[in-house]
Amino acid sequence: MSTTKWADIFAPVMGQGREVREGQAALGQAIIKAIETKTNLVAEAGTGTGKSFASLIPIIHQIQTSKKRNKPFRAIVSTETLILQRQLIDKDLPFLSTLYKDFTYRKLMGRSNYLCFEVAKGAVVADIYMNSIVEKLKMRQTNLGNGEKDDVERVLGRELTADQWAKIASSSSFCPDNQCTTEKCYSTLARERAKAADLVVVNHAILATDAEMKAGDPLADGMLGQFECLIVDEGHQLEPVLVNQWTKEFSERDLTTMAGSVQQGVEDAKSIVPNHSIGKTANDSMDELLALLKNVKNFYMLLGEKSNQEWKGSSTSLSLKTVRGAVTGPLLYAMNEFEEENPGRLARAEAALTEISDYLAKVTHKAAEEKIKGIRKIRKGWTASRDMLEIVQILSKAFATTDGIIQAYGTYGALVDGFEKQDGTPWMKIRLVPLDVSTKAKGIWGKEGGQTNVLLSATLTDLTDGTFRYARECVGFPAGPELRVNSPFDMQNQQLIYITPANRAKVEGAQYSFSELLDLILAARGRSLILFTSRKELDEATEQLQYMRNLGQFPYTLLVQTKDSDKQKLMEQFKADTHSVLLATKSFFVGIDVPGEALSFVGLAKWPNERYDALCKQQIAHWRTRGFSRWYERLSLTLFGQAAGRLIRSSDCKGVVGVLDFRANDAESNVFKTAKLGVTTLGSPITQDIATVKAFLS
């Protein structure tokens, strides 16, 4: 039985004029109990509940209590987006630190977010401009703060392009074994500072890395060190982040890079532990894999030609193939090589890479024992050999499947993706995508009874069955209590849902009407976030609106998410110009907060279905075997719920969610059936009349 009451520990915040929220109190009390009893909690809290304070205040209280008892208590709070991470670090925690004393906090991001002077050494070679940048940063190193991109740009007095930043940012490929010093690498410094802090705010990708580094050992330090409590906010996004982080990619370019690391590592290692044959073993294994990649590309390109499938943008399962019609000539030769030669190539490469990995491990340990310096390249080669070995082992199983679903070393989907270089040269990438991360993800949750875990989001419920079953099972979340907290907002009066009547001309190749979209933006007097699932459709809408703006027919500032856009800065511009219009892609469906008058209309140009490609089919097939027959619908409903949640962020907000996809008005369409379920759960009135929208917003 919990002895700590939410009202007592929330009192300092109430003293600052903050209101008491029933849902926040319920969530806060549940988290208090989970911490004090070391249990696991799944909690869904609607928009406006105040999840951040409900999570942070119980943690801070426990840190203070534990310090008085001389007991360790560290906590990790993980979010999916950098925007929410910054909100916690730059706004919420500084405010709480004025009310609650004696706790420390830090932010930790992925390596590529930090400056590294070791990496920068390579940037200055034959590049006078980058050399001047690096020299300026060295001279002003005491002013670099945390060494993040914003800090670097502040010192330089200018923004860096993505390419320029990549040349000086920390990189896992440069230093895979974390051997950089804190003086030269701000990523290493950030990790050291984070391990010393009571509370660390991270993103989900860091959790994935920490779990891999701990390798199932709950007593290992990993990236984050030992901790007693983990809060995963935006928990609905944890699974896709883990899938992305644990996906393995293999192309000729990847092979060249990894082969170079292995061969260099082997060459350096021979001076410590002589081995006259290991160099040839390394070269032979690379030749085997290069021959395999060339055959796979040739075979799949020929398959595409036979089925009239364009190579660029294609994605096909890597598996045994049944070819319709007669198979002759080059396709027959490629197919025979694919089926008969590649398994042997992989077996020989596996044996060679095992030998190489064992050898480099032996050399690395010997160098550590004898305190031999300058072995960075040996460590890098060892890491590359291990990575290649894992890829080869998984890949070898694909040649025994007919659907590319591999039930070994976990559950993976093997895929062949086709691309074209700028000069038109075709190239290929093999992807090994984990279809199910639940077993590996169990390493995130620590030893049973040794760590409190809270999985938290506004959209954890699987709307196809009304339960948290998928939210739990997809990430291997431990057993424990569940809680649902409704939004405190009056969705009957604050929010209106507009569904297209589908009675205008559609944009060619799209599912929405531009004139209808324009009328809705005008009804909202700008103040609109328009979400697209297609970059092509976003670009076309941008072109049309910009043309109208140039003619003086569109009076609002137009903001557009490009490939290089800084999401945080774009949001700040959108909030500042309270009648602007922002066109964005899927990354803006989640994790943004625009309270007040800057946002009155969220429009979805297309229902957010996942792309129905080879990977999606593999995922559907796998999750059907685990009892989730409506996995595809669940995915789009969660994304829709998140997109709609961007709108009403305070009791003063009022706005319209617009579903502009014509299929949402077609009773025979699957989109209609799914959208109907999603719209119903929002609990707001529905209209198909723009005049009603205009009256509601006025």
Which pLDDT belongs to residue 414?
96
Give yes or no for residue 2 having a pLDDT over 60.
no
CATH label of the domain that carries residue 682? 3.40.50.300
Q: Are 463 and 369 within one domain?
A: no
Q: Are 520 and 643 within one domain?
A: yes
477, part of any domain: yes
- State both tokens at 110: 């992925």
192, part of any domain: no
382 SS3 class: helix
Please give the angle made by the CA atoms of 346, 351 and 353, to the nearest 5 degrees.
90
Q: Are 520 and 667 within one domain?
A: yes
Helices (H), 45-172: 51-68, 82-87, 93-97, 117-123, 128-139, 149-156, 162-168
Mean pLDDT of the chain: 92
Q: Are 456 and 237 in contact (CB under 8 A)?
A: no
> pLDDT of 132-164, one tens digit each?
999 999 999 999 999 999 999 999 998 888 889
How far apart (Å, rounded) are the C-alpha atoms in residues 80 and 87? 12
Span of 12-21, 277-286, 538-547 with lowest mean pLDDT? 12-21
**Counting beta carbons within 10 angstroms of the beta carbon of residue 138, is it exposed (0 to 12), middle (13 to 18) or buried (19 or more)?**
exposed
Q: Are 481 and 412 within one domain?
A: no
- Token look-up 């697209």 returns 532
- Token look-up 């894992």 returns 390
42, part of any domain: yes
4, part of any domain: no
Closest by CA position to 207, among listed 523, 569, 477: 477
Rg (CA), the chain: 27
| CB proximity list for 433: less than 8 A, separation 6 or greater | 243, 247, 412, 413, 415, 615, 618
Q: Are 223 and 69 in contact (CB under 8 A)?
A: no
| CB proximity list for 328: less than 8 A, separation 6 or greater | none
Q: Are 397 and 506 within one domain?
A: no
Q: Are 612 and 620 in contact (CB under 8 A)?
A: no
Closest by CA position to 78, among listed 254, 260, 204, 191: 204
Q: Are 594 and 611 within one domain?
A: yes
Q: Are 271 and 233 within one domain?
A: no
Q: How many CB atoms lie within 10 A of CB 328?
A: 8
How far apart (Å, rounded) are the C-alpha atoms in residues 598 and 463? 30
Q: How many CB atoms lie within 10 A of CB 514?
A: 18
Give yes or no for residue 596 having a pLDDT over 80.
no
124, part of any domain: no
For residues 16-25, average pLDDT: 87
Buried/exposed code over 282-316 (b: 16+ C-beta within 10 A; e: otherwise): beebbebbeebbebbbbbbbbbbeeeeeebeebeb
How far apart (Å, rounded) are the C-alpha atoms in residues 115 and 104? 23
Closest by CA position to 681, among listed 497, 530, 482, 498: 497
Q: Are 316 and 460 within one domain?
A: no
Which pLDDT belongs to residue 311?
94
Q: Are 628 and 669 within one domain?
A: yes
How far apart (Å, rounded) are the C-alpha atoms in residues 592 and 184? 34
Which pLDDT belongs to residue 174?
66
- State both tokens at 574: 């959108």
Residue 445: half-sphere exposure toward Cβ, Cα within 13 Å: 24
For residues 478-505, average pLDDT: 95
> pLDDT of 34-74, one tens digit each?
999 999 999 999 888 999 999 999 999 999 999 999 998 99
Kindly indicate the confidence band of residue 307, based on its pLDDT and cuts at 50, 70 and 90.
Answer: confident
2, part of any domain: no
Torsion of CA 108, 113, 115, 116, to 10 degrees: 80
Please give the angle made by the CA atoms of 372, 373 and 379, to the nearest 5 degrees.
95
Written as one letter, the residue type at 623 is W
502, part of any domain: yes
Q: Are 333 and 473 within one domain?
A: no
Kindly indicate the confidence band of residue 646, based on its pLDDT and cuts at 50, 70 and 90.
Answer: confident
Determine the structural domain holding residue 223 and report its residue range.
Answer: 21-104+197-244+440-485
Total number of domains in the chain: 3
- State both tokens at 282: 């390394």
Q: Are 288 and 223 within one domain?
A: no
150, part of any domain: no
Q: Are 168 and 133 in contact (CB under 8 A)?
A: yes
Q: Are 425 and 446 within one domain?
A: no
- State both tokens at 93: 């925690």
